[in-house]
Amino acid sequence: QAQLVESGGGLVQAGGSLRLSCVASRTLLSRYFMGWYRQAPGKQRELVASITNRGIPSYPGSVKGRFTISRDTAENTVYLQMDNLKPEDTAVYYCNVNPPDRQCWGQGTQVTVSA
């Protein structure tokens, strides 16, 4: 069972920025695609950004142009830089492999964006 620890969430005004961090293992970063997911109240968990094991990012939805996923293999960390945040970005954010492994879900980090 892999351990993933997310941090960096908080309360921010609309238009503000946050950077989330996810400490993973060297094995995960080198072998698997990694993803940032989010779950808003009453909604299903969704993938917001992904990065390949070679460091190529992709953004499947509405965050493209505002969020940036990156990784630091020396620190075994995956980041999510979130700019121009909107109230609809409010959610608990998680990292996991992509596609997700049920055993890898951590506690997540809460992001709250006020209008």
Mean pLDDT of 48-67: 93
Q: Is 103 helix (H, G, I), strand (E, B) or coil?
A: helix
For the chain, what is the mean pLDDT?
A: 94
* Segments of 44-97 assigned E as strands: 46-51, 57-58, 67-72, 77-82, 91-97
Q: Tally the C-alpha atoms within 13 A of residue 78's C-alpha that lie toward its C-beta.
A: 33
Question: Which one is predicted more confidently, 29 or 39?
Answer: 39
Which residue's structure tokens are 């609809």?
Answer: 88
